[in-house]
Each structure stands twice: as C-alpha cells, then as structure tokens.
Amino acid sequence: MALMTDKRMRHLPVIENGKLVGMISIGDLVKNIISEQQFTIQQLEYYILRGEHT
C-alpha cells in the first residue's frame, strides 16, 4: 500500500514464476484493512465485555 501511495499507482501486478497471475487494486487493500480492523474491534469488544463478568 505504501508503494502504491508513494508511486501514485492504483494497481499492482502479481507475478509468480515470471508470469502475471493477477492484479491488486488499492481498493482491494483498503477492503482488507477495513476487514482486519473490524475483526480487531470485535475481539477487543469481546475482551472488554468478558472482563466485566469475571
């Protein structure tokens, strides 16, 4: 994501064994980050709520 931001690129090629196997967009990365943050928030909320009952 840093590379894409620094170079103002919206897409990056995915290369495997010298062949193009796909493309990653900045939107793909943003969706992944949001998903990870939502998971972390859920885990923290569970931890906080569980801590109140012990």
CATH of domain 2-52: 3.10.580.10
Confidence at residue 29, expressed as pLDDT on a 0 to 100 scale: 94
Model-wide pTM > 0.75: no
Confidence at residue 51, expressed as pLDDT on a 0 to 100 scale: 77
* Domain ranges across the chain: 2-52
pLDDT tens digits for range 2-48 = 899 999 999 999 999 999 999 999 999 999 999 999 999 999 999 99
Closest by CA to 27, choosing from 7, 9, 6, is 9
